[in-house]
Amino acid sequence: MEQTAENTLNTPHHTPQELEEAYAVMARGGLILVKLDIGYGFVGCSEEAIRRMYELKGRPASNPCVVPGNMAILQQLCPGIDARTLDWIGEQMRWTTLSVIGDLNEDSTLWQSLPPFVRNQSSHERSVAVFLRPGTFLEALVERAFDDGRLLAGSSGNLSGQGNCYRPEDLAESIIEGVDLFINHGVARYENPQRMATTMIDLRTLEIKRRGINCAKLESSLARLRADSGNQRART
């Protein structure tokens, strides 16, 4: 296992060398562990990496992982999202991290870039959860992969059922030792005593699927979107 460490408590930036090293490890099929805004998380794109992620977490295979992305990736994977909802998502991404569930276009070239096993573990009943504004380092990795026509997959870097790990010292030793690259960037932005993850929103129903970071504010804004969408349907 390779490791890159920093002495500062909370480092908001990463170096180009860290980005290229992390991407190279994933491109070779490896599994990395990096800081996200909602805690440390696993990221990979190969079957071997995602299988190992599930083993390290002790996560049931029936529990799908997420696809870290951005607006361009979301629109490629879930092209049926209406303009009003896309505008709403863009507004929320200006101030918070969030995950959204949408109907998946399984024929997307980007989706097909993932191995069959990873596609299976990253979807559920022809839907996919896309993790948006995950943190600057993962956002840069997502862009780097997207430029190469690649999609990434991942999950929180904790043992299953134990909540997100916001500090490096909270990570299980077995998880740190089990990855191909661990980059220590200090304490995650949204550290909280409940160890919550992202708020997850089902775009098909405009309802909260999982309560997490900034849920109350997202929920009130989502209620307005539902009302606006209902009024629009009534007018048409």
152-194 pLDDT per residue, tens: 999 999 999 999 999 999 999 999 999 999 999 999 999 999 9
Q: What is the mean pLDDT of residues 96-108?
A: 98
Calculate what percentage of the chain has a pLDDT beyond 70.
Answer: 92
Given pLDDT bands bounded at 50, 70 and 90, which one contains residue 6? very low
Under a CB-based contact definition with an 8 Å cutoff, are residues 98 and 198 in contact?
Answer: yes
CA 69: distance to chain centroid?
7
Given pLDDT bands bounded at 50, 70 and 90, which one contains residue 228? confident
Query: What would the two tokens of residue 130 be?
Result: 């896309």
Q: What are the structural domains, with CATH classification, of the chain?
A: 2-235 (3.90.870.10)
Mention every residue, 6+ apart, whose C-beta is less than 8 A from residue 65: 50, 53, 121, 122, 153, 154, 155
Query: What would the two tokens of residue 7 be?
Result: 């002495």
Q: Is a pLDDT exceeding 90 seen at residue 82?
A: yes
Q: Looking at residue 127, what is its pLDDT?
A: 98
Q: What is the mean pLDDT of residues 24-48?
A: 98
Q: Is a pLDDT exceeding 70 seen at residue 61?
A: yes
* DSSP summary character for residue 151: -
Q: Is a pLDDT exceeding 50 seen at residue 8?
A: no
Q: Looking at residue 7, what is its pLDDT?
A: 34
Q: Looking at residue 179, what is its pLDDT?
A: 98
